[in-house]
Amino acid sequence: MTTVTPEETKLNRALELVGGAIDPEIAEFYSSLEARILAQALENVELAERRLREIQKLVGDLDEVPTPLQFNLFSISFRTSKQTWQPQGPRSLVPARGTTTF
């Protein structure tokens, strides 16, 4: 019977989060699995940003959809206060009363 260590469990979960595979070029460049996973995660973010820009070119930039910066600020605020932002209508974010906006 093989026992899985907590470290292996974490690495398996991290690998799962990046899509379950590492790009061969990344695997060739980095020696540790941890570095490969982080590099793949960064590559995935860059690819997602390129896709987002392409989508914005195709459909336009809609005011009711937050920018990545606004979305990040929303996520941070939501995690820390759980009351900072309240949805107002479909897919729009409006600051709750008495909160500071950036």
- For every residue of 8-77, DSSP letters joined together read HHHHHHHHHHTTS---HHHHHH--SHHHHHHHHHHHHHHHHHHHHHHHHHHH---TTSPPHHHHHHHHHH
Q: Quick check: 88 pLDDT over 60?
A: no
Q: Quick check: 90 pLDDT over 70?
A: no
> Tokens at residue 9, please?
């469990």
Residue 73 banded pLDDT, cuts 50, 70, 90 = low
pTM of the model as a whole? 0.59
Q: Whole-angstrom Cα distance, residue 85 to residue 89? A: 13
